[in-house]
Chains A and B, each alone.
Chain A
């Protein structure tokens, strides 16, 4: 029989520090747990077996939810990727589960023939295949590890609520820092360009777009109109361009009205198109859009976005030429 490892439900300060690092995208590939069979509490041959991925956040979510349980935790080797994404890739999959059941000697450890999987692992695991190949019956537990106690108390029955994916504020917020980090180089580049064209005001436009697209968008996601993420983003972009345009009207009173008008048009188009694009980008991070839906959005909106961005650039240049005219 293969060796078993021990774990518990305690989150140490080191664990907590690591979670923060993962959230801000620091060394994100290094947060793995050794795959294999773990004991939690004092399990007997009749104790339940819970399966998870070897991504640290998934493993910790499970073991902290098993506080007070005597159980086994079977950790699959998903290369440090969470259950949902690994299931999509197939690494949290039938073959890996079958192999891990065999290599851990689970048959000799427990007297029953049941393994409890997170429901979000289902896209990678064919339950009937696992049964046929190992004799183990796959039971899909709740989507969230937090509901495990209630699920077990109800005789391994999940309520409708437990089976649904939700995307609450906390989950949406947690994604913002990583996305903001992903786009920080573009933000710097455009800050320089923005500054060269319109000074401090250009900076304000770039920052407005950056925070709207990467922080306000996930915050306001459920409240923005339309089902299409791009449309939601374009709406938000339109909203944030209002104070910017208002500011130009107040600050640049003595400038040539045509120059101000082309600048303002440029700002509106820029905000709408770029925030729209960032909105479209969020589809990959959220548990709603289908691939077909996203493909449709891409074909529908990318040409419009590109046209608006080009128009915005031309208008900004036109406004810039006015400036030059004033200089010479």
Chain B
């Protein structure tokens, strides 16, 4: 996947999987609205990726972008579940029903 789109602002030692294809953006403004960490900001013609590092991969922008301009492997970083799955070699789960309430 990497390198497939014009990933504006993405540093090479990427700490997250956010990818934004500016060419597709129709400037609807949804991504700036839904992002809880101010990663996107409205621009004059296209949404701007202004705080790439702060992305927590919640997936809100991707789900709400009407033209699929954004890709991110979403899921909250729940270490407990991830350590378990790493140790047991299982697929990573987002979290169980008794987790995060």
Interface residues of A, Cβ cutoff 8 Å to B: 22, 28-29, 55, 79, 81-82, 84-85, 87-89, 119-120, 122-128, 140, 143, 158, 160, 163-165, 229, 280-285, 287-298, 302
Contact = CB atoms under 8 A, between A and B. Distances in A.
Given A88-B74, A284-B99, 6 more contacts: A29-B98, A81-B97, A123-B74, A126-B63, A291-B57, A291-B75
B90 interface: no
B76 A291 contact: yes
Nearest to B72: A290
A28 B98 CA distance: 8
A285 to B, nearest CB: 7
Nearest to B32: A163
A94 B97 CA distance: 20
The 4 closest A-B pairs by CB, nearest first: A294-B77, A284-B78, A122-B60, A122-B34
B81 interface: yes
A290 B36 CA distance: 13
B33 interface: yes
Give chain B's interface secondary structure class. loop
A140 B59 CA distance: 15
B13 to A, nearest CB: 10
24 contacts: A29-B97, A82-B100, A85-B95, A88-B58, A88-B74, A119-B34, A119-B36, A122-B34, A128-B64, A164-B36, A282-B79, A284-B100, A288-B37, A290-B15, A290-B17, A290-B56, A291-B73, A291-B74, A291-B75, A292-B16, A293-B77, A294-B78, A295-B82, A298-B82
B46 interface: no
From B16, B79, B86, residue with most partner A Cβ within 10 Å: B79
A285 B100 contact: yes
The prevalent SS among residues of A at the interface is helix
Interface in B48-101: 55-60, 63-64, 66, 73-83, 86, 92, 94-95, 97-101
Interface of B: 14-17, 30, 33-38, 55-60, 63-64, 66, 73-83, 86, 92, 94-95, 97-101
Contact of A294 (B82, B98, B101): B82
Given A85-B101, A160-B38, A290-B56, A283 B77 contact: yes
B14 to A, nearest CB: 8
B86 A298 contact: yes
